[in-house]
Amino acid sequence: MKRVAEVVGQRAQLIAGANSARPAEIVELGLFAKRLGYEALMLAAPYYSLPTTAELVDHFKAVAKAVKLPIVLYNFPARTGVDLDSRFYDGVSNVAEIVAIKESSGSIARMYDHIVNRAKKLELVCGADDQALDYFLWGSRSWVAGASNILPAEHVALYDACVKRRDFIGGRAIMDKLLPLFLLMEGGGKYLQYVKHGCELLGLPIGQVRAPLGGLSNEEKANFARLFSVARGAGMRSKAA
């Protein structure tokens, strides 16, 4: 977190992922980020302990009160074991610090629920790369995308087409090239390995994932490389154009 603050400085808004199974550590990390100049926190439910909805409400209220920074909720039930559901959002509706939702449940129905019931108060952030086009179509202006580490220009091209120009025909043409890769990464259980391998293909030797995760097989690497080559350059205009 300190290194990112030093490198980025004032060039972009800094949002800190300050997650832990222990609430006291979340507060400690959040206050540390605040001292470094981070402008908001992105917080998931504490993993493993499986708190109830009422306990989650109390937890986020306590963190908001202690840190006093804007909070982007990160709903990823496949990783945390609990869902930030409608009852939860009702419970934190009066918490001024909660300003946005990164929705990574993978549920389009949940996206619609946010649009209908929460869009006036909370910014909806796409947290599933393979659903970005759908989110933009329904008015979302935010996307936290892991695959942007390996396809940054292509992600910007999709964002520019859909959010800035409202060109969803052009956006779909870009997404047609990106979607097969996104589906592989989102559905195979090896998202981190694929991101790291993508960096290797770009000439950025950043090393392997840490244990207990393992690497990719030669077949997985070849399949990824094939889809990666299709995705690269999506939405890019030629110099002649």
SS (H, E, C) 43-83: EECCCCCCCCHHHHHHHHHHHHHHHCCCEEEEECHHHHCCC
Return the active site residues: 74, 102
Q: Does 240 have pLDDT greater than 60?
A: no
The reported pLDDT for the residue numbered 169 is 97
Domain boundaries, the chain: 1-127, 159-235
Joined together, the tokens standing for residue 190 give: 């090896």
Q: Mind listing the pLDDT tens digit for each residue in 16-72?
A: 999 999 999 999 999 999 999 999 999 999 999 999 999 999 999 999 999 999 999
Separation CA 132–CA 134 (nearest Å): 5
Q: Does 239 have pLDDT greater than 60?
A: no
Q: How confident is the model at residue 237 (pLDDT cuts 50, 70, 90)?
A: low
pTM across the whole model: 0.91
Q: Does 238 have pLDDT greater than 60?
A: no
The sheet that has 142-143: what strands, in order across it?
Answer: 15-17, 40-44, 71-75, 98-103, 123-126, 142-143
Q: Does 241 have pLDDT greater than 50?
A: no
The reported pLDDT for the residue numbered 235 is 81
Q: How confident is the model at residue 236 (pLDDT cuts 50, 70, 90)?
A: confident
Q: How confident is the model at residue 194 (pLDDT cuts 50, 70, 90)?
A: very high
Which three-class secondary structure state does DSSP give residue 16? Answer: strand
Tell me if the domain spanning 1-127 has CATH number 3.40.50.300: no
Q: Is the peptide bond before 212 cis (omega within 30 degrees of 0)?
A: yes
